[in-house]
Structure 1
């Protein structure tokens, strides 16, 4: 089998011309790399003619400091290697760029705030798998689509000019940032000029997801009735069919702005508002008065109105489930993890930011009020639903996704329901594992990048 990983040493430029690299003889023989005429060295968007100098009894590659600087490599590393005789191209990589919302250059140890540990874990995982990763923000993108200023790790976080990557993992957490003209221009140019692949390339709006999944008869069973709230007539119609409905901001996250509306009796309604401090309660003597209260918000916020579900609970606290699904080294969706989230006291949403607690899906089902045959096989049904929904997103939404956070619920009959799909699953909750272990979710992201780049 061909050796596909090579240890790359950075040496003084005086020893080696900028247009030459040294490579162990074994690699030259195995990949049939010519020694006489120059070949094209490819690293992300970088293309450079170089002469390959063979080295006997040496199992690696040496490059000069100037070339290393152009590659954005500040220290010796391990990369994967390929050679195409058709194009006389020697490719190193994959080069992965992670597009993040912001950096904090003055915080040397935590330049990415709460996701710094996740970023360092990616660096460590790349070192194991033979990839190179850097991190960049919208402010690092200039007019040139061939290079960006990014953060690399070399005995500490350092800035470097790096080529546009083979793969961009879009981790932007703000639509405003994602829609900036320089970001959209860079992503478009990187795709067309450098054949860069971008995954998780857009946010998902709640109605977009539900309308797309309704196209597959096999997925309808997971979908609570949902509509964009347009007028009082729609609110009346939904409240006549369901004793509880939810109003959710179309572009909301972390449970912000959710309103639960419950019919108490014929002419009495209660609205519960999710706030950071807990749940705010308000009574209305008619649905029209409730709508008048909400309609002011509708001028700035679009709401999805959704059928209320009788969720399973633990001691009266509602439980839902977050499944992380990712594409693997063959490009297939796999379930990486699924956790149960139990709402905190005085909250009806389960987000950790609002006092929710985590447990395994199995533990939560055992502790919940779900009993008998309804509880049997519930974790397996959740897993199956997550994978089927991910495939549905791929089929019916024209965008490229490599990982999805899928929020699911079980009702009191053990039926699985979809709550929402998040195309930018949070990395803030990631805590470091003992013994420098690397989480499966991090390893999978690099495996998928290797699949996309054929490394």
Structure 2
């Protein structure tokens, strides 16, 4: 089956009927399409029988205005094309749909809030790779239809009626939205009806991840001891074993709600909690008193208790590492980037939302107090650990993931530990849009979508 990129152009409906397309004879030969025969044109969920009219000395696919409207095409652009002679199907695309939490039509420059520039960048990258992308919200799923209302960028954001995508990337930011019956019904429906691929289909709970990975003997070396916090007994046991422990909301993100407990030389217990203003410190004469103050939180929030680690520090600030691990154009996991995150002053977590700063992993490791041999080894072992953990998540958690944010830590001896796995790595606008430069992470995502769609 031949696959390549072809310019698609709209022509006046008076020149071309809706059930016919014009195709350059060079392209017809490449694709092995018989002249004047009828074939089925598909674009995402769109299907239509069309007659192919050959055009000499041309490499353009021309469609009528009416057909272009039904396809959701408004501009001249190039799309990947493939033809199967056995099924007589001419496919265009792929169409990639991105399911986002909300839109703000009254703010065209910030239509999707902090991920607007990412959406523009993804559009530019799709144009370069012959794919077509649109963005839609859960509100678009309230009415059941064979098409969907989605946003496309064409010298400004426009809302169009579009075919169901070949591949959908879930960028919903809350579990509440993800679990809406309309969302779950839509996803089940398009998977069964159109064979739509849907990736990053669910949030991950911290306890779920650690329990799943613990099944693999080769991954246990990366896992700090960790349990669901069900009462005082497990807190007492963990505090008796380790100098410090962390209590992390099972469904938390951005470092919110994390508690750190440690014992003073005097025998009293110190509780550190994250707040937007910095770290709040409280001291209790006994662990039982401390538990009494934490217990009310446990009524509304499930916590995971985790072994505290003597983290690598830069300037007395703890450092951890975020690895972005993505599926590539052959469906295999690869490490796209690893960045170091150094905690802000007066904070014990490194999240950027809590004043943390970014640097390359290489820079952070070079500035650290690790022995030189360990530093070199770590550069190799960090991506290896991230890849092994991504494969473990895929093996032991029954869901489809195409990219994962994997948070790793180094202790002061250079040992690698897993802190957290995030199935919705941040796409917030933290870099200015440069139309000439598309980040490797965005290119990789499209390559994976093309792999899934077979285009």
Report the TM-score range of the alignment, normalised by the length of the smaller protein.
over 0.9
Residue in 2 that maps onto 1:296: 296
Displacement after TM superposition at 1:382 (Å): 1.0
Aligned length: 455
Displacement after TM superposition at 1:61 (Å): 0.4
In 1, are the aligned partners of 2:36 and 2:54 still within 8 Å (CA)?
no
In 2, are the aligned partners of 1:72 and 1:160 still within 8 Å (CA)?
yes
Which segment is superposed worse, 281-290 or 143-152?
Answer: 143-152
Measured against aligned partners, the alpha-carbon deviations of 1:168-204 in whole angstroms (never above 9, x if no partner) come to: 0111111111111111111110100000000101100
Residue in 1 that maps onto 2:168: 168
Residue in 2 that maps onto 1:120: 120
TM-score under structure 2 normalisation? 0.98
Query: Following the alignment from structure 2 to structure 1, what is the Cα–Cα distance between the partners of residues 380 and 276?
Result: 33
Displacement after TM superposition at 1:378 (Å): 1.4
Query: Following the alignment from structure 1 to structure 2, what is the Cα–Cα distance between the partners of residues 142 and 36?
Result: 41
Gaps of 5+ in 1: none
Query: Following the alignment from structure 2 to structure 1, what is the Cα–Cα distance between the partners of residues 454 and 210?
Result: 33
In 1, are the aligned partners of 2:7 and 2:79 still within 8 Å (CA)?
yes
Which segment is superposed worse, 359-368 or 248-257?
Answer: 359-368
Residue in 2 that maps onto 1:144: 144
Residue in 1 that maps onto 2:287: 287
Residue in 2 that maps onto 1:449: 449
In 2, are the aligned partners of 1:3 and 1:27 still within 8 Å (CA)?
no
In 1, are the aligned partners of 2:121 and 2:433 still within 8 Å (CA)?
no
Residue in 2 that maps onto 1:187: 187
Query: Following the alignment from structure 2 to structure 1, what is the Cα–Cα distance between the partners of residues 317 and 53?
Result: 67
Q: How does 1:303-452 map to 2 (within 5 A)?
A: 303-432=303-432, 434=434, 436-452=436-452
Displacement after TM superposition at 1:11 (Å): 1.7
In 2, are the aligned partners of 1:245 and 1:262 still within 8 Å (CA)?
yes
Displacement after TM superposition at 1:346 (Å): 0.2
Displacement after TM superposition at 1:26 (Å): 1.4
Measured against aligned partners, the alpha-carbon deviations of 1:140-179 in whole angstroms (never above 9, x if no partner) come to: 1233252110001111110001011000011111111111
Displacement after TM superposition at 1:384 (Å): 0.8
Residue in 2 that maps onto 1:216: 216
Specify the SS of the correspondent of 1:191. helix
Query: Following the alignment from structure 2 to structure 1, what is the Cα–Cα distance between the partners of residues 105 and 143?
Result: 22
Query: Following the alignment from structure 1 to structure 2, what is the Cα–Cα distance between the partners of residues 252 and 375?
Result: 32
Gaps of 5+ in 2: none
**Structure-2 change in CA distance of 1:450 and 1:435 (3 Å):** closer
Measured against aligned partners, the alpha-carbon deviations of 1:15-66 in whole angstroms (never above 9, x if no partner) come to: 1111111111112222222334421111101111111111111111011111
Query: Following the alignment from structure 1 to structure 2, what is the Cα–Cα distance between the partners of residues 139 and 69?
Result: 22
Displacement after TM superposition at 1:235 (Å): 0.5
Specify the SS of the correspondent of 2:126. helix
Query: Following the alignment from structure 2 to structure 1, what is the Cα–Cα distance between the partners of residues 200 and 211?
Result: 19
Q: CA RMSD in A?
A: 1.3
Query: Following the alignment from structure 2 to structure 1, what is the Cα–Cα distance between the partners of residues 314 and 257?
Result: 24
Residue in 1 that maps onto 2:14: 14
Specify the SS of the correspondent of 1:109. helix
TM-score under structure 1 normalisation? 0.98
